[in-house]
Structure 1
């Protein structure tokens, strides 16, 4: 019995990964659960075993992308020396962006989707990152922590746009 549970957990993760790829490549509105199922090498009904709607699948994919950023930043905040905090956070975000580009594209697209649940998920993700970075900057004694946090977040968003439109010169500091 435990083996099938493990398989179900793995299949759920496969579906989420496939959804991130499909949504980031063709957009939420054009994507179908059939395409997600095909990418995950499963049947479409199996997608619905885990996700009642395409929106719930998108929300889970968004949550997964924010979780990666938040957990990675938490590690940096807990271990970086104060004088290197911002630089290490920037480096970590650039690393996430390079390794998990589809998740960043998913977040870019989700910012413009009007459904309240999706907007709420995006607000929650941004709020968690903002609050964590602001608190860390305050505790590290960073001058003007609110402004530095705003600039940090703005730089991250600009980097996402730069990658999406293939304009790396926007990422140079």
Structure 2
């Protein structure tokens, strides 16, 4: 029985990974579960065994937010208070490079008003905001709330810069 559960968990992960790629490449609304199934090398009915299209998007977004939270938590555990913000920036840049499709998917999801999608996006952004704010406060960073807002805004600008292939947006003057 444990092997069956492990296999099912592995297939779920494969489906979510495929969905992230397909949704990011062609857009959530244009993508089909058949395309996700093809990318995961499984049948479409097998996708529906685990997910509806919307629940698949929600799961994919949860994965992307968890990745960011885990990376930022590692920064908190390993960085001095002086290097905290730089650590967050580097961690996010690494995610943008290694998991570009997840960031593109989050960008798309910001425009989707369906309550489950909106809820996961709001929850993810709130969790990141609270983690960064708390870390800044604990480190004694002045104006922690303002610095947190600036950090989040810079992250969104990083997303736009990456999506539009306009690295010059990120050049500090």
TM-score range, shorter chain: over 0.9
Structure 2, gaps ≥5 residues long = none
Q: Separation in 2 of the partners of 1:170 and 1:144?
A: 25
Q: CA deviation at 1:79?
A: 2.1
Q: CA deviation at 1:21?
A: 0.4
Q: Find the counterpart in structure 2 of residue 36 from structure 1.
A: 36
1:9 paired to 2:22: no
Q: Find the counterpart in structure 1 of residue 63 from structure 2.
A: 64
Pairing 1:19-168 to 2, within 5 Å after superposition: 19-51=19-51, 53-168=52-167
Q: CA deviation at 1:46?
A: 0.3
Q: Separation in 2 of the partners of 1:122 and 1:59?
A: 9
TM-score normalised over the length of structure 1: 0.97
* Residues 9-35 of structure 1, C-alpha deviations (whole Å, 9 max, x = no match): 111100000000011111111111000
TM-score normalised over the length of structure 2: 0.97
Supply the RMSD in Å over aligned alpha carbons. 0.8
Q: CA deviation at 1:78?
A: 2.2
Structure 1, gaps ≥5 residues long = none
The runs of at least 4 consecutive aligned structure 1 residues that moved more than 3 Å come to none
Q: CA deviation at 1:2?
A: 2.4
Aligned residues: 172
Q: Separation in 1 of the partners of 2:161 and 2:33?
A: 29
Q: Separation in 2 of the partners of 1:117 and 1:10?
A: 24
Q: Separation in 1 of the partners of 2:104 and 2:2?
A: 35
Q: Separation in 2 of the partners of 1:119 and 1:165?
A: 23
